[in-house]
Amino acid sequence: MKADLYSLIIYLGNLALTMLLCRIYQKKPILQEKYKWLSLVIISLPLSLVAGLRENVGTDYLNYTGIIDSTRGLSYASIFRGETPNFIEIGFILVTKICSSLNPNSYFLPFFVYAFSTLFLSVAGIERFKQKVSLPLGVFLFYLIYYHVTLNIIRQGMSGAVLMFALKDLVDKNYIRYSIFVLIAFFFHRTAALCLIFMLIPLFSGKYTNEGSYIPGSRRIWGLIPFVILFMAASVPLYNSLFLYDVFANRADFSIEAHGITGSGLGILFFFCVNIYFI
């Protein structure tokens, strides 16, 4: 009971410190103009250190310590040949290998880097919307809802953080930059590839005509339905066809069905269609 109370105090104390740092950043224009990235690094540090120092916290903790141990014996050449344990994405394995090589006798550095990259990119993604979203409030809600989740589903958390940072590019219709970020996220978790479909949101959202009348997105949703049907039907062979190069050769038989991505993809598409109807 005391251990749980101490843990709660540590987490809440670091969360409070993070909120204070966000508030200072928001109130000091000079930090936003001259020291933006350094400030975001400092904001992301407190709970990243907590995640790095944790021991046996998180349902997947032992699975990831096993992955870290398995990478210690891997060569970089074997990683680039796609010889990674359990078909785990090459980007994640490469980061793990570098961290485990620099910190061979501890799990601190890998877990710290996992958490810091997730939190930093997420905080930076929220900051990109600072004109519309309060940074302290946005970061507080993110930590409140997702921080504990990223201690368990680490790869998905890292991939999702890249996509969260890329969200502003999607809103700004910078599709090339957004696609590059989706590709980067893909190398940390394959489900990121499904987020390419969100590039259709700006195309089917409501708009004003030259005459000044407004056309709500709900009236144009019918143009998206045939594409969604085709995408759902072609998603499995399309996904598996990505494994064309030697680096992915031994993953070709690791089908998207076995990884559970088909169900996730259909769920995302359903959510997408429901939301786009009301845009």
- CB-side neighbour CA atoms (13 Å) of 247: 11
DSSP assignments along 40-84, one per residue:
HHHHHHHHHHHHHH-SS-STTHHHHHHHHHHHHT--HHHHHTT--
Partner residues linked to 62 by β-bridges: none
Q: Say what the pTM is.
A: 0.74
Q: 54-68, 86-100, 196-210, 217-231: which range is least confident on average?
A: 217-231
Confidence tier at 42 by pLDDT (50, 70, 90): very high
Confidence tier at 212 by pLDDT (50, 70, 90): low
Q: Is the pLDDT of residue 94 over 50?
A: yes
End-to-end C-alpha distance for the chain, whole angstroms = 48
DSSP assignments along 207-242, one per residue:
EE-TTS-EE-GGGTGGGTHHHHHHHHHHHHHHHHTT
Torsion of CA 121, 42, 109, 118, to 10 degrees: -20
Nearest to 193 by CA among 202, 201, 184: 184
Encoded tokens for 270: 């359903």
Summary mean pLDDT of the chain: 76
Confidence tier at 180 by pLDDT (50, 70, 90): very high
